[in-house]
Amino acid sequence: MIRTVAETGSTNADLLAAARQGAPEGDWLRAGRQIGGRGRAGRAWQSPIGNVYASTIIRLRSGDPPAPELALVAGVALEETATAWLGRDLLRLKWPNDLMAGNAKLAGILLERDGDAVIIGLGINLAVAPPAADRPTTCLADLGGAAPDPAPFLEDLAMAFAHWVARWRGEGLGPVRQRWIERAHPVGTALAANAPEGPIEGLFDGLEPDGTLRLRRADGRIERISAGDVFLL
């Protein structure tokens, strides 16, 4: 079920509260505008009208793969949907949770957990590309003409997400990881990572079986990044 409100503080915050009251898996909330939207690490997320700001709930089950893998699941569903609407092969996934067109960010994903509930928030620039302090931004309208209507775009995204969640539960991370790598920037792309142990630069070398980023250093060593911000160089 997709519920739409004209304005809210944060769709993630609203669904976290709903999850605590027993809201089921598969509920979606979309806001025309957020006044308290946030990204990773508590960053503010600007939310002008015309884009998608939405969150959904996954209820973790016994035997599910690790919950952090849902960031990759959401990423492949998002890329698949946005590429279908764009009709052009311009978009690439960037670890851990961004959708890019060249060096510009088109969309981001935020996961938050409370008990068995994982809230997956998605912000997708359809009509407007709000500026960001640390990277260029873009929107689908800038890449291919008229901006999609947020409502049918989210309907397609919800269907794609349900499909990939089912594969994740039934087959594990393998098919998701394979699709993610196929739709990422090429192996050998220069990256910088703000890892917990400090800044690291190297070349993209794919993902470990658990979704950890592989970064090849100049001396050939492989750094494995499990958390932190990553930037294209």
State in Å, rounded, how far the first CA of the chain is from the last one: 40
Query: What is the reported pLDDT for 217?
Result: 95
Instruction: Please indicate, yes or no, whether residues 227 and 138 belong to a single structural domain of this protein.
Output: no
CB 58 within 8 A of CB 31: no
Whichever domain contains 209, its CATH number is 2.30.30.100
DSSP string covering 68-89: GGHHHHHHHHHHHHHHHHHTSS
Query: What is the reported pLDDT for 135?
Result: 82
Instruction: Please indicate, yes or no, whether residues 167 and 111 belong to a single structural domain of this protein.
Output: yes
Residue owning tokens 């510009």:
104
SS3 content of the chain, % helix, strand, coil (to 5): 30, 35, 35
Instruction: Please indicate, yes or no, whether residues 214 and 149 belong to a single structural domain of this protein.
Output: no
Query: What is the reported pLDDT for 24?
Result: 96
Encoded tokens for 155 = 């309907």
Nearest to residue 122, comparing CAs of 111, 137, 114? 111
Nearest to residue 63, comparing CAs of 176, 155, 171? 171
Encoded tokens for 43 = 């960053």
Instruction: Please indicate, yes or no, whether residues 208 and 176 belong to a single structural domain of this protein.
Output: no
> What is the mean pLDDT for each group of 10 consecutive residues in the chain (233 residues)?
94 96 96 75 67 97 96 98 94 95 95 97 94 86 87 97 98 98 96 84 96 95 90 88
Q: Which amino acid is at 18?
A: A
Query: What is the reported pLDDT for 47?
Result: 74
Q: Enter the DSSP assignment of 146.
A: S
Whichever domain contains 93, its CATH number is 3.30.930.10
Query: What is the reported pLDDT for 41?
Result: 47
Query: What is the reported pLDDT for 71?
Result: 97
The count of structural domains within the chain is 2
Domain region containing 225:
190-232
Global pTM value: 0.93
Instruction: Please indicate, yes or no, whether residues 138 and 205 belong to a single structural domain of this protein.
Output: no
Instruction: Please indicate, yes or no, whether residues 26 and 105 belong to a single structural domain of this protein.
Output: yes
DSSP string covering 106-143: EEEEEEEEETTEEEEEEEE-SS-----SSS-B--HHHH
Q: Among 182, 199, 223, give the residue marking a domain's end.
A: 182
Query: What is the reported pLDDT for 38?
Result: 58
Instruction: Please indicate, yes or no, whether residues 33 and 127 belong to a single structural domain of this protein.
Output: yes
